[in-house]
């Protein structure tokens, strides 16, 4: 039984969310795999082939923003939309740039995704719904056999010119942009920042950050602030990042936020029994000790890994615990498309499944996995994060960690209880602040005893 109904009614009286990004929830969309709004731009589409385009576009995302808003997400991050190179041959067949990361041109939008006008309409529509839009952009490389390999080879490292360090290597054999050349840097700035100016974007997700110099990112931050304003988000992808790997990018004011890979790894180990609650609690309580004004962006799944649900062998109750940990933790949480309805993509390329719209024919031949009850759980957690701003901003205090059970406070107002074990758990603690504790999600308590069934989580609030 869902116990959040009364609390959700209170949302009508809650002030608008703080403008800072620390109170946002991001919903990540691989554009090609979300929704097809314009069938006339479908070229080379084969929904049965995981290596090619499936038809998702900017119009489809715009038409289905309510799916994201109703979930409780306040920002949408979409994959790159620039013109893509021709497909390449791999062992599995012809691999097309459906993901958007293999640019052939940085100043043209791939017609399969739409047009600049479509992007601006998406942004305007999102803003009308109180949502922000983050565009994924690539500064590190172009696609295989891109036009520049012939017309501007001096702007690229290729073949024997590729180095062995993080900055000069050619990642996955992709032609590497010589971002140390001012002309190259300025061209890329104008292409991406200029597009953001024209369309009103709210932020960038910056791909492959650690493969470009700190000097580049410092200048990028300066120019972005000058042209796009202080609230424009610069969210960087640093593979395997945690608070330690984030330090150089934060201390030099290069990025506002960094994707928190450690969160997924640690949470998976806890829920899989590889680590216990005590070990996880030590990480969880201190994971977001970063510079003031900076954020880690924790996530459970992304487009380069198997979905967390697949790693949990389809156990949706454990996924619910993971969602509870994610949406009651500090930072800027990110949900992947379809994660809230049970998308269970395994190893690449099957981790990039199309969105399941149920009875709606938004994308053809999408595998049926939609679980609206699971979606309701994610939805409640996202709304709770709005209802209790301390879930986003306050420090975490561990009040219990033993075996497979964990209890922590978020500020003085919210208590989260997690039972990852196979047995029911009754929690009693004299360490809790005085006051009347009220169940806001999943379970009730009586006489100071909080009863948590096996493989579940519960949330309580305290009346001052």
Q: 78-135, pLDDT tens digit by residue? A: 999 999 999 999 998 999 999 999 999 999 999 999 999 999 999 999 999 999 999 9
**Average of pLDDT values for 409-418?**
90
| Residues linked to residue 245 through DSSP beta bridges, in sequence order | none
**Average of pLDDT values for 205-233?**
98
Phi-psi region of 411 (alpha: psi -120 to 50; beta: other; left: phi over 0): left
Distance of CA 412 to the CA centre of its chain: 28
With beta carbons less than 8 A apart as the criterion, state whether 179 and 188 touch.
yes
Instruction: Give phi and psi for 136, each to the nearest 5.
Output: -75, 130
pLDDT (0 to 100) of residue 364: 60
Distance set, CA 237 to CA 73, 137, 209, 214 (Å): 20, 11, 6, 14
Between 385 and 431, name the one with better pLDDT: 385
Long-range pairs for 237-240 at CB < 8 Å and ≥24 separation? 237/205, 237/206, 237/207, 237/208, 237/209, 238/209, 238/210, 239/210
Q: 56-92 as b/e, with b when 16 or more CB fall inside 10 Å?
A: bbbbbbbbbbebbbebbbbbbbbbbbbbbbebeeeee
Distance of CA 273 to the CA centre of its chain: 25
**Average of pLDDT values for 167-176?**
97
pLDDT (0 to 100) of residue 12: 34
d(CA 78, CA 135): 5
Question: Does the pLDDT of residue 17 top 60, yes or no?
Answer: no
| Residues linked to residue 165 through DSSP beta bridges, in sequence order | none
pLDDT (0 to 100) of residue 119: 98
> Which regions of the chain carry the CATH code 2.60.40.1180?
401-463
**Average of pLDDT values for 16-29?**
78
Q: Work out the pLDDT band at 397, boundaries 50, 70, 90.
A: very high
pLDDT (0 to 100) of residue 363: 67
pLDDT (0 to 100) of residue 112: 98
> Which regions of the chain carry the CATH code 3.20.20.80?
15-140+179-393
pLDDT (0 to 100) of residue 462: 83
Per-residue pLDDT reduced to its tens digit, 236-266: 999 999 999 999 999 999 999 999 999 999 9
CATH of 15-140+179-393 given 3.40.50.2000, 3.40.630.10, 3.55.50.30, 3.20.20.80: 3.20.20.80
| Residues linked to residue 418 through DSSP beta bridges, in sequence order | 406, 457
pLDDT (0 to 100) of residue 14: 34
The gap between the terminal CA atoms of the chain, to the nearest Å, is 26
d(CA 332, CA 123): 20
pLDDT (0 to 100) of residue 15: 31
CA atoms within 13 A on the CB side of 192: 26
With beta carbons less than 8 A apart as the criterion, state whether 213 and 180 touch.
yes
Cα–Cα–Cα angle for 127, 299, 68, rounded to 5 degrees: 30
pLDDT (0 to 100) of residue 5: 43
pLDDT (0 to 100) of residue 132: 98
Question: Does the pLDDT of residue 213 top 80, yes or no?
Answer: yes
pLDDT (0 to 100) of residue 411: 82
pLDDT (0 to 100) of residue 360: 65
Question: Does the pLDDT of residue 224 top 50, yes or no?
Answer: yes
Distance set, CA 187 to CA 130, 180, 190, 193 (Å): 32, 12, 5, 10
Helix spans in 272-315 (H): 277-286, 308-311
**Average of pLDDT values for 72-78?**
98
**Average of pLDDT values for 284-289?**
96
Question: Does the pLDDT of residue 16 top 50, yes or no?
Answer: no
Question: Does the pLDDT of residue 305 top 90, yes or no?
Answer: yes
**Average of pLDDT values for 293-297?**
96
Q: Work out the pLDDT band at 401, boundaries 50, 70, 90.
A: very high
Query: What string of DSSP letters covers 179-245?
Result: TTSHHHHHHHHHHHHHHHHHHT--EEEETTGGGS-HHHHHHHHHHHHHHH-TT-EEEE--TT--HHH
Query: Mean pLDDT over all residues of the chain?
Result: 92
Report DSSP state, residue 157.
Answer: E
Between 359 and 245, name the one with better pLDDT: 245
d(CA 392, CA 410): 9
> Does domain 401-463 bear CATH number 1.20.140.10?
no
Distance set, CA 378 to CA 326, 392, 418 (Å): 10, 16, 16
pLDDT (0 to 100) of residue 381: 96
pLDDT (0 to 100) of residue 366: 63
pLDDT (0 to 100) of residue 391: 87
Closest to 438 measured CA to CA, from 378, 370, 358, 384: 384
Q: Work out the pLDDT band at 28, boundaries 50, 70, 90.
A: very high
Per-residue pLDDT reduced to its tens digit, 432-464: 777 778 888 766 666 678 889 999 999 998 865
d(CA 115, CA 71): 27
Question: Does the pLDDT of residue 341 top 60, yes or no?
Answer: yes
């Amino acid at each position: 039984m869902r116990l959040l109904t009364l609390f959700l009614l209170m949302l009508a009286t809650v002030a608008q969310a703080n403008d800072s990004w620390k109170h946002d929830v991001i919903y990540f969309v691989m554009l090609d795999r979300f929704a097809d709004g314009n069938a006339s731009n479908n070229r080379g589409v084969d929904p049965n082939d995981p290596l090619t385009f499936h038809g998702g576009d900017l119009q489809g995302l715009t038409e289905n923003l309510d799916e994201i808003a109703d979930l409780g997400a306040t920002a949408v991050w979409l994959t790159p939309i620039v013109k893509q190179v021709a497909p390449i041959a791999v062992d599995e067949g012809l691999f097309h740039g459906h993901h958007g990361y293999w640019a052939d041109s940085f100043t043209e939008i791939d017609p399969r995704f739409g047009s600049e006008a479509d992007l601006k309409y998406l942004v305007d529509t999102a803003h009308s719904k109180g949502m922000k839009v983050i565009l994924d952009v690539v500064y590190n490389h172009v696609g295989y056999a891109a036009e520049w390999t012939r017309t501007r080879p001096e702007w690229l490292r290729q073949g024997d010119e590729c180095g062995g360090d993080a900055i000069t290597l050619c990642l996955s054999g992709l032609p590497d942009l010589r971002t140390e050349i001012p002309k190259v840097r300025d061209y890329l700035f104008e292409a991406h920042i200029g597009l953001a100016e024209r369309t009103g974007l709210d932020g960038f997700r910056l791909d492959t950050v650690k493969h470009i110099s700190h000097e580049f990112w410092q200048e990028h931050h300066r120019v972005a602030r000058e042209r796009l304003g202080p609230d424009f988000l610069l969210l960087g992808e640093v593979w395997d990042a945690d608070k330690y790997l984030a330090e150089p990018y934060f201390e030099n004011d290069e990025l506002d936020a960094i994707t928190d890979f450690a969160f997924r790894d640690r949470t998976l180990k806890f829920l899989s029994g590889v680590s216990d609650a005590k070990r996880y609690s030590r990480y969880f309580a201190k994971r977001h000790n970063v510079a003031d004004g900076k954020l880690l962006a924790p996530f459970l799944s992304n487009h380069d890994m198997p979905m967390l649900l697949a790693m949990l062998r389809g156990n949706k109750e454990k996924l619910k615990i993971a969602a509870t940990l994610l949406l009651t933790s500090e930072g800027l949480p990110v949900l992947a498309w379809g994660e809230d309805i049970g998308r269970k993509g395994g190893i690449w390329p099957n981790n990039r499944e199309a969105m399941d719209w149920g009875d709606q024919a938004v994308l053809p031949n999408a595998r049926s996995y939609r679980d609206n009850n699971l979606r309701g759980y994610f939805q409640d957690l996202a709304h709770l994060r709005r209802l209790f701003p301390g879930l986003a901003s306050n420090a975490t205090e561990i009040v219990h960690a033993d075996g497979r059970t964990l209890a922590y406070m978020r500020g003085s107002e919210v208590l989260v209880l997690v039972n990852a074990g196979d047995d029911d758990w009754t929690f009693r603690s004299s360490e809790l602040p005085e006051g009347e504790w009220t169940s806001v999600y999943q379970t009730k308590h009586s006489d100071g005893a909080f009863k948590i069934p096996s493989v579940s989580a519960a949330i309580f609030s305290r009346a001052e």
